[in-house]
């Protein structure tokens, strides 16, 4: 018969003996020659140590006290009643700090209340409601425990907790799941099939071993049902936040860039428009020279505001100069308005306004 079980290796110690972290030796697991070997490396190699297994099934580490010349027992196992194998039967958990040490997982009840009343817990706890494999199951998280015996199990070293949960739900025979390794926030996937036997809690120890026991959804509250899901969502949340931040950043950046683009385009259009409206301001002497001092021979027409002269700015460029009559009554502002309107109405079938000249009372547009 089984008396004591140390549990699986969780990356730091065996799951059933967290007190192995001590000042006497360092527990390690070494993979060598295709075998996994448990090594207890002493911190002080000068002192003598030995391990014994007595006829009652108690395994104990002894260390020699050289000064007193005697062996001192250090770590006997089982240490307390909860270390006894399957103390509380299937789906029971042993709690050493309670007057009645055994209780059932949530969603389970004592098989025989009469037996429990006389502290016979060996028959354990059957389910109060059957599982519904078609999406009607959830999980109850049990924290800080020695994992159940791996009588029937499945193991994967790289899965996340959420992937492990999904794998458990895909198999109707899965009864619980957990991270086998507690290092780096937990990793790997351990799935149990069949009864969960030999589970205990560890009071007053920084034990990060948890297990998620499968039960009917009707057995658990909405808050409990979402506990492990929320933790997994929390793990995924940074990625979602990053993606949301990235998308938001892209949208904001796109909006800003779009606004800058529109403003720049408008500015360029305005600048282009202004450039199109920019007119050359000719000196009076240039106009006089171009029209041969407004020679009558250069007159090519006359309107209500005055005569129009042909002029030459250079050998290749001819202009038409309208000399506004002093009696036209057109003031400076009216002249500017006329020049701007003519400039805005540029058309390929119309004569293009090149510039103007304002000298004293003289108002001269040049086309």
Angle between helices 161-170 and 227-277 (to 10 degrees): 120
Helix (H) / strand (E) element for 250: namely helix 227-277
91 close to 126: Cβ distance less than 8 angstroms: yes
Question: Hey, what CATH topology would domain 280-366 get?
Answer: Phosphorylase Kinase; domain 1 (3.30.200)
Q: What is the mean pLDDT of the chain?
A: 78
Instruction: Please say if the pLDDT value at position 242 is more than 60.
Output: no
**Tokens read off for 55:** 């006829």
For the stretch 121-142, pLDDT in tens is 999 999 999 998 887 899 999 9
Does the pLDDT of residue 359 top 80, yes or no?
no
User: pLDDT tens across 9-24, in order?
Assistant: 888 778 777 665 567 7
Q: At 27, is the secondary structure helix, strand, or coil? A: strand
Instruction: Work out the end-to-end distance of the chain between its first and last CA atoms, rounded to an integer number of angstroms.
Output: 117
Alpha-carbon gap, residue 192 to 210, rounded angstroms: 13
Does residue 67 have a cis bond before it (omega within 30 degrees)?
no
Query: Residue by residue, what is the 3-state secondary structure of 319-347?
Result: EEEECCCCCCCCCHHHHHHHHHHHHHCCC
Confidence of residue 65 (pLDDT cuts 50, 70, 90): confident
| pLDDT (mean) for 272-294 | 70
Q: What is the pTM of this model?
A: 0.57
Helices (H) and strands (E) in the chain, counts: 6, 20
Q: What is the pLDDT of residues 210-227, one digit of tens each?
A: 999 999 988 876 545 544
Q: What is the DSSP letter of 15?
A: T
Checking if the pLDDT of 274 tops 50, the result is: no
């Amino acid at each position: 018969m089984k008396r004591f079980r140390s549990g699986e290796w969780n990356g730091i110690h065996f799951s059933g003996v967290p007190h192995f972290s001590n000042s006497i030796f360092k527990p390690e697991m070494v993979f060598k020659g295709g075998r996994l070997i448990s090594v207890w490396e002493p911190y002080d190699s000068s002192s003598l140590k030995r391990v014994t297994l007595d006829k009652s099934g108690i395994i104990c580490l002894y260390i020699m006290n050289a000064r007193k010349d005697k062996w001192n027992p250090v770590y006997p196992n089982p240490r307390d009643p909860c270390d006894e194998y399957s103390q509380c039967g299937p789906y029971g958990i042993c709690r050493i700090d309670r007057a009645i040490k055994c209780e059932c997982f949530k969603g389970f009840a004592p098989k025989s209340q009469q037996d429990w009343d006389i502290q016979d817990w060996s028959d354990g706890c059957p389910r109060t409601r059957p599982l519904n494999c078609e999406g009607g199951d959830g999980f109850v998280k049990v924290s800080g425990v020695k994992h159940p015996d791996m009588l029937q199990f499945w193991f994967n070293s790289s899965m996340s907790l959420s992937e492990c949960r999904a794998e458990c739900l895909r198999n109707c025979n899965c009864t619980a799941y957990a991270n086998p390794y507690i290092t780096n926030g937990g990793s790997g996937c351990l799935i149990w099939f069949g009864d969960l036997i030999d589970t205990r809690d560890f009071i007053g120890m920084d034990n990060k071993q948890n297990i998620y026991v499968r039960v009917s959804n009707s057995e658990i509250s909405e808050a409990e049902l979402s506990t492990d899901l929320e933790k997994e969502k929390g793990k995924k949340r940074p990625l979602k936040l990053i993606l949301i931040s990235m998308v938001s950043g892209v949208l904001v950046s796109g909006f800003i860039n779009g606004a800058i683009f529109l403003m720049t385009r408008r500015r360029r259009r305005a600048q282009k428009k202004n450039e199109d409206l920019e007119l050359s301001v000719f000196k009076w002497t240039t106009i006089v020279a171009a029209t041969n001092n407004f020679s009558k021979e250069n007159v090519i027409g006359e309107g209500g505001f005055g005569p129009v002269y042909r002029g030459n700015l250079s050998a290749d460029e001819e202009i038409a100069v309208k000399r506004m009559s002093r009696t036209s009554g057109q003031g400076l502002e009216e002249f500017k308005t006329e020049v701007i309107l003519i400039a805005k109405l540029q058309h390929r079938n119309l004569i293009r306004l090149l510039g103007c000249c304002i000298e004293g009372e003289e108002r001269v547009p040049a086309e």
